[in-house]
């Protein structure tokens, strides 16, 4: 086995003293930017991992847990982060937040990860990682937990995406709809490997009801209410538009509702709409949805991280229940509508 890379190796490659290298890697303010950049470049080139013995950051001694999120403005992430922070605060742990923001920030985070062992555990909220990214996480030797997705065999908490999708689509089918559109939300820049559960549930529900899948009724858009509005416009432009629409998130569903109302169509009189999440705006706008416990997922992830650090056994996968919430945006299709059972 090759000798592990140490701080002296980084310093030598960067042509600085070990003390300067240490200060640069710890973001000390009294380091010139050019020197800091040179040290980071050397650390990345050597894939340097901070030594717990040398730095005093042995597992369980920093008092911090790193939380990595791709978005801060979206409801699910904010709610999950709130639930996680509350549990960690009560346990006396500090939260070290990493906001990826875009693909460039994501690449930079994983490139610099080995030299950033500043926490006892890492919790990833709502995004998957590829094999190379997972390997870099595992190399730094800290606990790894995820919420809203799976990271290898590491502890995770999530809902059953397929069950949630079935609850939404089966509700529309039960009302008598057979011409059902689906708005798929994507985030290709940050998470190209998003789970297929919500889309798979749509196809499975139609098949179980004896309804032939029509690809024209599926529209994929980047996540945003504006994306939902645009997708609804595409569905309305079909020669045979749907009588109901299933959106992958409430915020996208609300964008679809906006387009329907601007087109002079009644919801649910002309078109029913359902989403997933139970976003706070869903109740205010009378949107039918499938509720998922976002804050509880964050809280469970926090408890998993704490248990991992204390050496307690941790359930590898915790699946939290979802529930159908019927409000005023869904109803049986109008009499005489095409495709009605």
Query: Per residue in 305-318, pLDDT tens?
Result: 999 888 888 888 99
> Is residue 320 over pLDDT 80?
yes
Average pLDDT of span 49-71: 65
% of the chain exceeding 70 in pLDDT: 89
> Is residue 66 over pLDDT 60?
yes
Between residues 241 and 104, the one the model is more confident about: 241
Q: What is the pTM of this model?
A: 0.79
Q: Which of 94-98, 259-263, 309-313 ranks highest by mean pLDDT?
A: 259-263
pLDDT band of 278, cuts 50, 70, 90: very high
pLDDT band of 48, cuts 50, 70, 90: confident
pLDDT band of 212, cuts 50, 70, 90: very high
**pLDDT recorded at residue 337:** 60
> Is residue 172 over pLDDT 50?
yes
Pick from 258, 261, 300, 262: which is nearest to 275 by CA?
258
Q: What is the largest CA-CA distance in the chain?
A: 81
Between residues 298 and 129, the one the model is more confident about: 298
pLDDT band of 281, cuts 50, 70, 90: very high
């Amino acid at each position: 086995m090759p000798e592990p890379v140490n701080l002296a190796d980084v310093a030598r490659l960067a042509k600085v003293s070990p003390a300067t290298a240490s200060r640069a890697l710890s973001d000390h303010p009294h380091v010139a930017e050019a020197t800091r950049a040179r040290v980071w470049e050397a650390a990345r080139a050597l894939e340097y991992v901070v030594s717990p013995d040398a730095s005093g950051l042995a597992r369980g001694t920093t008092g911090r847990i790193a939380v990595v999120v791709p978005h801060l403005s979206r409801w699910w992430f904010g709610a999950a982060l709130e639930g996680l922070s509350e549990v960690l605060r009560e346990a006396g742990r500090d939260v070290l937040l990493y906001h990826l923001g875009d693909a460039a920030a994501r690449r930079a985070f994983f490139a610099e990860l080995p030299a950033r062992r500043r926490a006892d555990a890492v919790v990833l909220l709502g995004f998957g990682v590829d094999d190379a990214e997972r390997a870099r996480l595992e190399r730094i030797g800290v606990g790894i937990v995820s919420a809203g997705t799976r990271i290898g065999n590491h502890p995770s908490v999530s809902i059953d995406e397929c069950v949630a999708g079935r609850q939404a689509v089966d509700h529309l089918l039960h009302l008598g709809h057979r011409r059902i559109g689906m708005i798929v939300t994507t985030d290709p820049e940050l998470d190209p490997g998003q789970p297929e559960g919500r889309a798979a549930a749509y196809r499975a529900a139609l098949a179980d009801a004896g309804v032939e899948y029509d690809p024209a009724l599926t529209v994929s858009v980047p996540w945003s209410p504006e994306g939902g509005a645009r997708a609804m416009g595409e569905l309305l432009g079909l020669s045979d538009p749907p009588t109901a629409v299933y959106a992958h998130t409430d915020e996208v569903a609300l964008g679809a509702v906006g387009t329907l109302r601007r087109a002079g169509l009644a919801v649910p009189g002309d078109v029913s709409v359902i989403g997933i999440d139970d976003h706070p705006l869903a109740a205010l706008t009378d949107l039918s949805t499938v509720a998922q416990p976002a804050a509880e997922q964050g809280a469970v992830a926090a408890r998993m991280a704490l248990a991992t650090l204390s050496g307690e056994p941790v359930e590898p996968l915790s699946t939290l229940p979802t529930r159908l919430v019927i409000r005023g945006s869904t109803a049986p299709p109008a009499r005489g509508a095409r495709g009605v059972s």
